[in-house]
Amino acid sequence: MDAALLEQMLLGALLALSVYLPLRCGQLSLATPGFYAVGGYVAALLSTRVAAFAGSGATSPLWALVAEMVLGGILAGLIALAIGGPVLQLRGIYLAIATIALVEILRVLNLNLPFTGGAMGIFAIPQPFEQADGYVLFTLVLLALACWLCQRLEVLRLGRAMAAIRDDELAAASVGIDTPRTKLIAFVASAVLAGVTGALAAHFLNAWNARAGSFDASITTLAFVVFGGSRYWLGPVLGGLVLTALPELLRPVGDLRLILFGSVILLGPLFFPQGLVTAERLRGLGALLGRAPQAP
Amino acid sequence: MSASSDGIAAAAAPLLQVEGISCRFGGLLALDRVSLELVEGEIFGLIGPNGAGKTTLFNVISGLTTASSGRCLWRGVPTAGLGACRLNRLGIARTFQNLRLFESLSVRENVLVGLHHAARAPLLGALLGHGAFRRHQGRLEARAMELLALLELEALAEQRAGDLPYGDRRRLEIARALATAPRLLLLDEPAAGMNPAEKDDLRQLIGRIRDHYSLTVLIIEHHVPLMMRLCDRLAVLNFGRRIALGSPAEVRRDPLVIEAYLGGSGGGQGSAAGEGR
Ligand SMILES: Nc1ncnc2c1ncn2[C@@H]1O[C@H](COP(=O)(O)OP(=O)(O)O)[C@@H](O)[C@H]1O
Ligand SMILES: [Mg+2]
């Protein structure tokens, strides 16, 4: 497997986690690609228009990449914070539709703003790494950090409050959980992660345009989570990795690959309605791993 | 607002005052100018046939439903517009007639969610799992297990709440409500679906809880003999109206109640509807 594909898979896993965070709190938000696009534009603009960010050597400085990721995450988070209050009053499919509309609004803005390069977008984004391996290593660290945070959520008060809202929002409010605030935190965290991922992806892809945040991408990233399972962070990560790799690995079969890819998305939920990773399978895996060292 | 006179009023005020609450759903008047006052420390019973408006009154008190008119006062202060979360933080906790547990979470986690307010900890320490955070977590876990022991659920701590049998779910709802450290506990048909032995245990348990936490309890229950023994005072609702209020003995003798609900010695249809559950 080549490093470029691996990098795409890791980015897919990060985006899947961004969809998972609101879903962990019962909120079906499809806004992830919109925030991803915003993060990407922050990185693309800074590194092509600001000399310090572009650097002078063969590669752009690493600190610039990190700074762009932070700024991209902050901008995405601020947008989420501003619109989250009213939008999160919607529930279920209505929230999904509102977030699709948000992605569309951001896409049209990105197409038409005077500094985003129109339909062509922004080119020749400088590379902080000479080869794809560098991206892979860097993204792996980022993914590990995101997974660790999601794992900590399982034992934290915030994570329990999110799970309670997912199970029964009204009962959660009745035991003193500030449900609007908790949902907003999940939504903003999701946006920050998408923004950070977009900033990284803009460099890796070398060019950035409004197609990064499209309705198609909303559906694809949702498929990651549906396929992998939305109960534990491992599910979206697996879903993001596998479903990003699949179209590429199926390339040899030609046009048939789209049909095969579609079938996987269709059949996955049929055979694994809870996604690949469920509580029972995780427990089974834990028992297996727990026993293994004691076996003679 | 003059602070000094309010302070005096609050000190003398009952824990909860329900003043002329009406609640209309379209053409249906579910509550019709209902008033009652809860004195701190009492067990107050609410009885009445199905559809009388008992659950609706709980929903109004706990902030899940907005009354069409009338008001509730908590220690003398109006609670209008506070919402379920704020009212719980003030000290009102409830259980649900149709059970609303966090079904995908374990029994222990359900109680931990109830301890949400007590679980505040500095974020960084919590993320890194510092010693101070772990000790704090340990105290919370101990508190959760204490509550589970009180409700005789500790053996089921790691079971999924959604997998529990009916009676255990009802007790878990009580444990979760108690975890929020309430001053007033609203119990909506806590004995529904229990057998007579379980019902008797529950009656003693509610008494114990009241004494242990010096709580005030407002309880809805159809099983009239249980309510007569358990409650200090009773109110009877019928078609959204409060038709009686007083000690169990007074309510039992009230002609309106006998006609509407208890069905007299002959055991009319009201009796069958009321006690059959
Ligand atoms: N949200 C609602 N919308 C419409 N009607 C309701 C609603 N909640 C309760 N009701 C109606 O109000 C009446 C009282 O219901 P409820 O308070 O549940 O009675 P009880 O708990 O005494 O059995 C019933 O006729 C019920 O159908
Ligand atoms: Mg009821």
B25: domain CATH number? 3.40.50.300
pLDDT > 80? residue B265: no
Give residue limits of the domains in chain A: 3-214
pTM: 0.90
pLDDT average, residue stretch B150-174? 94
Looking at the domain assignment, is residue B113 inside a domain?
yes
pLDDT > 50? residue B122: yes
Within this chain, do residues B40 and B54 fall inside the same structural domain, yes or no? yes
Of B46, B69, B50, the residue nearest B58 (C-alpha): B46
CA B61, CA B94: separation in Å to the nearest integer?
10
Within this chain, do residues B199 and B68 fall inside the same structural domain, yes or no? yes
Looking at the domain assignment, is residue B100 inside a domain?
no
- Cβ atoms of residues A48 and A116 within 8 Å: no
For chain A, where are the alpha helices, taking DSSP H only?
3-23, 32-49, 51-54, 62-87, 92-112, 132-153, 157-167, 169-174, 179-205, 215-228, 234-249, 256-271, 279-291
- Cβ atoms of residues B217 and B187 within 8 Å: yes
Please give the C-alpha separations between residue B255 and each of A7, B233, B246, B259, in angstroms, as whole numbers.
Answer: 80, 17, 13, 6
pLDDT > 60? residue B275: no
State the total domains in chain B: 2
Please give the C-alpha separations between residue B87 and each of B64, B76, B82, B177, B183, in angstroms, as whole numbers.
Answer: 10, 14, 6, 13, 11
Of A238, A212, A185, A184, the residue nearest A72 (C-alpha): A212
Looking at the complex, report in whole angstroms how far the Cα of residue A177 sits from the nearest Cα belonging to chain B: 6
Q: What are phi and psi of A175, to 5 degrees?
A: -100, 20
Task: Indicate the residue of B93, B109, B116 with minimum beta-carbon distance to A177.
Answer: B116
pLDDT tens digits, residue range B34-74? 999 999 999 999 999 999 999 999 999 999 999 999 999 99
The confidence score (pLDDT) of residue A294 equals 41
Contact B88 A173 (CB under 8 A): yes
Which tokens sit at A104?
Answer: 């569309």
- Cβ atoms of residues A89 and A17 within 8 Å: no
Of B275, B271, B261, B269, the residue nearest B222 (C-alpha): B275
How many angstroms is it from A36 CA to the middle of ligand 2?
Answer: 48
The ligand that comes nearest to the alpha carbon of residue B47 is: 1
The confidence score (pLDDT) of residue B263 equals 56
- Position B155 confidence tier, pLDDT thresholds 50, 70, 90: very high
Within this chain, do residues B159 and B186 fall inside the same structural domain, yes or no? no
Within this chain, do residues B188 and B239 fall inside the same structural domain, yes or no? yes
Looking at the domain assignment, is residue B99 inside a domain?
no
Q: How far is CA B21 from the centre of its chain?
A: 18
- Cβ atoms of residues A209 and A120 within 8 Å: yes
Question: Which residue in chain B has the smallest CA separation from A153?
Answer: B127
Which tokens sit at B114?
Answer: 């109830």
Contact A160 B121 (CB under 8 A): no
Within this chain, do residues B116 and B233 fall inside the same structural domain, yes or no? no
Within this chain, do residues B159 and B208 fall inside the same structural domain, yes or no? no
Within this chain, do residues B82 and B112 fall inside the same structural domain, yes or no? no
CA A230, CA B249: separation in Å to the nearest integer?
55
Give the pairing of strands B28-38 and B233-238: unpaired
Percent of chain A with pLDDT over 90: 64
The confidence score (pLDDT) of residue B276 equals 36
Of B51, B53, B74, B55, the residue nearest B64 (C-alpha): B55
- Position B246 confidence tier, pLDDT thresholds 50, 70, 90: very high
pLDDT > 70? residue A1: no
pLDDT > 50? residue B267: no
CB atoms within 10 A of CB B38: 19
Residues in Cβ contact with A101 at an 8 Å cutoff, skipping those fewer than 6 apart: none
Question: Which residue in chain A has the smallest CA separation from B63?
Answer: A174
Contact A171 B88 (CB under 8 A): no
How many angstroms is it from B50 CA to the middle of ligand 2?
Answer: 7
3-state SS, one letter per residue, for A33-68 = HHHHHHHHHHHHHHHHHCHHHHCCCCCCCHHHHHHH
Looking at the domain assignment, is residue B96 inside a domain?
no
- Cβ atoms of residues A188 and A76 within 8 Å: no
Which tokens sit at A151?
Answer: 């794992």
Question: Which residue in chain A has the smallest CA separation from B100?
Answer: A171
pLDDT average, residue stretch B9-26? 84
* Average pLDDT taken over every residue of chain A: 90
DSSP characters over A62-117: HHHHHHHHHHHHHHHHHHHHHHHHHHTTS-HHHHHHHHHHHHHHHHHHHHHSTTTT
pLDDT > 60? residue A223: yes
Last residue of a domain, one of B131, B157, B180: B180
The confidence score (pLDDT) of residue A252 equals 81
Within this chain, do residues B42 and B171 fall inside the same structural domain, yes or no? no
Please give the C-alpha separations between residue B146 and each of A76, A186, B179, B215, in angstroms, as whole numbers.
Answer: 44, 31, 10, 17
Looking at the complex, report in whole angstroms how far the Cα of residue A169 sits from the nearest Cα belonging to chain B: 9
pLDDT average, residue stretch A116-128? 90
pLDDT average, residue stretch A143-162? 94
Q: Please give the residue range of the domain that contains residue B137.
A: 105-180
The confidence score (pLDDT) of residue B261 equals 64
The confidence score (pLDDT) of residue A296 equals 36
Of A84, A73, A96, the residue nearest A27 (C-alpha): A96
- Position B11 confidence tier, pLDDT thresholds 50, 70, 90: low
Within this chain, do residues B111 and B169 fall inside the same structural domain, yes or no? yes
pLDDT > 60? residue A38: yes
- Cβ atoms of residues B215 and B185 within 8 Å: yes
The confidence score (pLDDT) of residue A244 equals 92
* Average pLDDT taken over every residue of chain B: 88
pLDDT average, residue stretch A155-165? 94
Looking at the complex, report in whole angstroms how far the Cα of residue B32 sits from the nearest Cα belonging to chain A: 25
The confidence score (pLDDT) of residue B12 equals 59
Please give the C-alpha separations between residue B223 and each of B47, B56, B88, B203, B259, in angstroms, as whole numbers.
Answer: 9, 19, 27, 11, 17
Contact A172 B102 (CB under 8 A): yes
Last residue of a domain, one of B159, B180, B201: B180
pLDDT > 60? residue A282: yes
pLDDT average, residue stretch A94-116? 93
- Position B10 confidence tier, pLDDT thresholds 50, 70, 90: very low
